[in-house]
């Protein structure tokens, strides 16, 4: 039978009634005559609560122990969902990431999947069971428990879909697909029924939270269609696939978790090495004749320690920054979009700290406190 992979985020299983609703949806899918693999996140707020506990014990908790701690969140939700499905008379079994054959590199807290060995899952699917997998986690080649970073359950779902040659992957959240901007920030944002992989990946890299960028990369490589849907509504969806018919609509994406390091050009190689050693992500870099800069992501769990390490090396950190990005196909051939975006920021009295242009993305660095204002202004100008 064809395989469908369904992933449910933390907001979809925030409490027992919502978890029961997910069980209903999974059972209904199974009864259409397909094999179902469910990837589940921790119940809403669990990961943040566990991180808070860790920081009460140690301001700079070891990443290995964080992985051991945070991986328990998905184990709770996977077991509860299995119980709920079995209560509906449908056979189910739950597995951790390591039991599912998800092998990662040896990096804690933001590991990358290097191989999936789904043999045990295939055996259980052959027995007619719904298979439930804890998202966000795996096991390194050293047999250490690892986690995949924020949004890692998306990556788990797509990696499993590829390994199982699934018909599609359905990613469920509290929104019914992808919009031209976050509808919680821009209420009149337009629903986008289709996107191609490249545009979706650019949106995810720019900060869109509906899908994880690494998951989209996996999907593109394996040609797995992604259906982004709402757990609570069946009226709309966005399909991300290779041959999207109408993928030219621009989207505006904001994020609030950036910091900038001003540099002299000759200091850039050493700064990059230090940033890599600290496990920080570089979102943008600019080099000129007399100056350079790195824009980095202020990432949990140890941003404070990383910032102190950078400052000890003499670097100045401009924190509390964010960005607004316009994502569109063939952006270089549409300079009018960029002009209108810049004009919208000026009209809203928002002065960018810097602007970068790439083939699919125009990005302005702004104060984090003004990101939502910037998104609304730019979206209104390019709509």
Q: At which residue do the structure tokens 């390490």 appear?
A: 309
Q: Please give the CATH topology (third level) of the domain spanning 251-382.
A: VC0802-like (3.30.2130)
Q: Which residues, other chains included, contact 278 with Cβ-Cβ below 8 Å and sequence gap of 6+?
A: 306, 309, 310
Q: In the chain, which segments carry CATH 3.40.1160.10? A: 3-240
Per DSSP, 362 falls in state E
Contact, 176 vs 233, CB < 8 A? yes
Q: What are the tokens at 39?
A: 């990837």
Question: Cα-flanking dihedrals φ and ψ of residue 105, to 5°?
Answer: -75, -175
Q: In the chain, which segments carry CATH 3.30.2130.10? A: 251-382
For the residues of 223-277, what is the DSSP string, one character each?
T--EEEEETTEEEEEEEE-TT-S-----EEEEEEEEEEEEE-GGGHHHHHHHHHH
Order of strands, sheet of 292-297, starting from the edge strand that comes earlier in the sequence: 282-287, 292-297, 251-263, 318-327, 361-367, 354-357
Q: Three-class SS of residue 338?
A: helix
**With 0-12 CB in 10 A as exposed, 13-18 as middle and 19+ as buried, what is 349?**
exposed
Q: What are the tokens at 320?
A: 């509390």
Q: What are the tokens at 328?
A: 């569109």
Q: What is the pLDDT along the chain (383 residues), one digit of tens a residue?
A: 899 999 999 999 999 999 999 999 999 999 999 999 999 999 999 999 999 999 899 988 888 999 999 999 999 999 999 999 999 999 999 999 999 999 999 989 889 999 999 999 999 999 999 999 999 999 999 999 999 987 899 999 999 999 999 999 999 988 899 999 999 999 999 999 999 999 999 999 998 988 888 899 989 998 999 999 999 888 899 999 988 765 567 899 999 999 999 999 999 999 999 998 888 889 888 888 888 999 999 876 678 888 999 999 999 999 999 999 999 887 877 888 899 999 999 999 999 999 988 889 999 999 999 999 999 999 999 87
Helical H segments across 117-267, by residue range: 119-126, 152-163, 197-206, 213-222
- For the chain, the distance separating the N- and C-terminal CA atoms, rounded to the nearest angstrom, is 43
pTM of the model: 0.89
CATH 3.40.1160.10 is held by the domain 3-240:
yes
């Amino acid at each position: 039978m064809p395989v469908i992979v369904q992933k449910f985020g933390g907001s979809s299983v925030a409490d027992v009634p919502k978890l029961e609703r997910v069980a209903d949806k999974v059972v209904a899918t199974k009864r259409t005559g397909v094999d179902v693999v469910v990837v589940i996140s921790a119940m809403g707020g669990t990961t943040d609560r566990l991180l808070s506990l860790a920081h009460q014990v140690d301001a700079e908790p070891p990443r290995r122990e964080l992985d051991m701690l945070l991986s328990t969140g998905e184990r709770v939700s996977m077991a509860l969902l299995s119980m709920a499905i079995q209560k509906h008379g449908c056979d189910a079994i739950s597995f951790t990431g390591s039991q599912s054959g998800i092998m990662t590199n040896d990096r804690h807290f933001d590991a990358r999947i290097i191989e999936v060995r789904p043999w045990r899952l295939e055996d259980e699917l052959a027995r007619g069971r719904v298979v439930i997998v804890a998202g966000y986690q795996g096991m390194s080649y050293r047999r250490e428990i690892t986690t995949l970073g924020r949004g890692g359950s998306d990556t788990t779902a797509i990696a499993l879909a590829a390994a199982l040659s699934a018909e599609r992957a359905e990613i469920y959240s509290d929104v019914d697909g992808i919009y031209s901007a976050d509808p919680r920030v821009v209420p009149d944002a337009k629903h986008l029924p289709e996107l191609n992989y490249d545009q979706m990946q650019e949106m995810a890299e720019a900060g869109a939270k509906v899908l994880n960028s690494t998951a989209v990369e996996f999907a593109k490589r394996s040609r797995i269609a992604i259906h982004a849907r709402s757990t609570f509504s069946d009226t709309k969806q966005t399909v991300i696939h290779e041959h999207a018919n109408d993928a030219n609509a621009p989207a505006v994406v904001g994020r609030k978790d950036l910091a900038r390091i001003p540099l002299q050009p000759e200091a850039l190689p050493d700064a990059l090495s230090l940033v890599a050693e600290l496990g920080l992500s570089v979102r943008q870099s600019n080099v000129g004749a007399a100056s350079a800069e790195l824009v980095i992501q202020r990432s949990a769990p140890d941003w404070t320690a990383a910032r102190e390490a950078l400052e000890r090396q003499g670097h100045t950190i401009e924190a509390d920054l964010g960005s607004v990005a316009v994502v569109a196909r063939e952006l270089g051939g549409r300079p009018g979009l960029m002009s209108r975006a810049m004009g919208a920021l000026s009209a809203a009295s928002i002065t960018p700290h810097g602007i970068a242009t790439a083939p699919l993305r125009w990005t302005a660095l702004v104060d984090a406190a003004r990101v939502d204002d910037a998104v609304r202004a730019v979206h209104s100008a390019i709509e």
